[in-house]
Structure 1
Amino acid sequence: MIDGRPGSRPGIVRLRRTYLSLGLGELVSVAVFVVVQPVVAARLDDDGGRALWWALTPLLVVLVQGGAYWLAARTWLPGAGRPGMPRRVAMAYRVFRVLNPVLLVVCLAGLLLTGPDTGALVLCLLVWAFGVLEHVNYFVVRLSYPVARWSVLVGRRRTPALVRDLARAR
């Protein structure tokens, strides 16, 4: 009994801790972006502030989805009591996988049509691109690795944990 439960193994305990850290980290990131947004928007004109929300919205949505995934996935790790991702959760993430790109396109159009000045446009496009990268990292190919080994590991084009869980949930 490593963590007080019969049958737990040190590797699972470590993985549960990692998933907790990842989930809370994503949700804290959302909170930080929401708190920082008004500070940044105050330095932009009205169009730039509106464009920033268009850019930030899909990023926040994907980060909330990611945080919720990591926290929920702790319950279906081996030895956690559930055999795998529940069907309803899998259905929701399959819908997210389709709707996120639609949200990204709509929000890109919104930020471009808002007409921010060049500096605000560049900032907003970078924030929007970060949302694209987060979606890709969760739903297409794993992009998140330690900095020292990133260039080697990203080339392996590993399947994200979420996608593997979706495949097993069928």
Structure 2
Amino acid sequence: MRATRREALRRRYLSLGLGELAAASVFLTIALTMALPRLDHGQDRLALWSALVPLLFVLVQAGAYWLMARSWVERHPMPAPVRAGYRAFRIANIALLGGGLAGVIVWLPDGVAAGVAVVAVWLFGVIEFVNYYVVRLSYPARRWLSTVGQRRTPRLVRDMNAAARPPSTS
């Protein structure tokens, strides 16, 4: 039964990992092919990059986490070097999101649509950060309202915490 659960989790983690990497690719592709060509001013482009870079950073981290977690799920804790990397990412993400917000504020596009789009991209980066490092926000749509209020610890944080505990000797 444990092997079956492990394989089911590995498939789910593969889907989640590839999904996050695909999302990062889609955001980048849309920015490069649709958004940037429509932004006339260099400052507008800087605002978009200020919002987009932190989002891409978090999405790629998330995708890599899920793909790496396939190797330890149901077997052993997150390896110490991976844990150290994600602890550093948590701090780097806060710095990137803060710097991104500063860039968005300084270079906010004059056009309403462009300004709203830039702020929305930055906010999505914040939501993704919170979902992976603070409190789990993503649930199936039909259960979201009843589940999000439970303030569950994200899987990444649980893995980091489990890796920090000494192994049990029982």
Is this a same-fold pair by TM over 0.5? yes
Query: Which one-letter code corresponds to 1:68 in the other structure?
Result: A
Query: Which one-letter code corresponds to 1:136 in the other structure?
Result: V
- The total of aligned residue pairs comes to 161
Q: State the 1:8 CA deviation.
A: 6.0
Query: Which one-letter code corresponds to 2:38 in the other structure?
Result: R
Q: Bigger CA drift: 113-122 or 68-77?
A: 113-122
1:91 corresponds in structure 2 to: 84
Distance change (3 Å), C-alpha of 1:22 and 1:106? same
> Alignment partner for residue 56 of structure 2, among 60, 66, 87?
60
> Alignment partner for residue 134 of structure 1, among 113, 125, 128?
128
Q: State the 1:74 CA deviation.
A: 0.5
1:124 corresponds in structure 2 to: 118
Query: Which one-letter code corresponds to 1:114 in the other structure?
Result: W
Map 1:1-170 onto structure 2 (within 5 A).
9-38=3-32, 39-46=34-41, 47-79=43-75, 83-117=76-110, 118-170=112-164
Supply the RMSD in Å over aligned alpha carbons. Answer: 1.4
Query: Which one-letter code corresponds to 2:53 in the other structure?
Result: T
- Structure 2: runs of 5 or more not aligned: 165-170
- Structure 1: runs of 5 or more not aligned: 1-6
Query: Which one-letter code corresponds to 1:28 in the other structure?
Result: A
- Structure 1 runs (4+) greater than 4 angstroms displaced: none
Aligned partners of 1:27 and 1:115: how far apart in 2? 27
Q: Percent identity?
A: 52
TM-score, normalised with respect to structure 2: 0.90
Q: State the 1:49 CA deviation.
A: 2.3
CA offsets 1:1-46 (integer angstroms, 9 cap, x no match): xxxxxx8622211110000000011111111111110211222222
Query: Which one-letter code corresponds to 1:48 in the other structure?
Result: D
Aligned partners of 2:96 and 2:56: how far apart in 1? 11
TM-score, normalised with respect to structure 1: 0.90
